[in-house]
Amino acid sequence: MTIAAEWQPVGWDLIRGRLRFARDLFAVAIRPKVDVWSDTQIPHWVTQVIERLRTVLALEKGWDGAQGEPVSAEAFQMALTVLSETMSPDSIAPHVVPTADGGLQLEWHCAGVDLEVYVEADGRVSAWCQEGSREWEEDFYPRARLAKELSLLIGKFCD
């Protein structure tokens, strides 16, 4: 499945003394992988995640009461990419948490597993996971490892 954001230009903003092109989220496109033999439905987590992402995308500078930056378009798009590449149809939706530097954190906490994916404002991805005494952390996008962990965090174990 592919999930992508479409952005609508809204003009230029002066941010930190630099001119930056501003844009607003226009639409989120979902393209499921389909074959003629499948009864394809969009997984339930997709709409939950998009609503959660739209909520954090609406945050403005200072949202945390201090210097919190708005979520960057790069972080938003990379979060969609990570989810579309690693989530299975029966995965549970993550909690979506904005970071003060304009990034996002995707979190799953269920069935004794804590899994966190950090998406920096520039789109870089890292991850951390702990289950009992088993723990790992990666400073890069561990696609296969995330897909494996997320395949275990499904509704029948976490709801």
- Whether the Cβ atoms of residue 80 and residue 5 lie closer than 8 Å to each other: yes
pLDDT at 125 over 90: yes
Domain extent, residue 131, equals: 2-158
Q: Per-residue pLDDT averaged across 16-44, rounded?
A: 54
Provide the mean pLDDT of the chain.
Answer: 79
Share of the chain above pLDDT 70, in %: 72
Weakest mean pLDDT among 15-19, 28-32, 100-104, 127-131: 15-19
Q: Structural domain tally of the chain?
A: 1
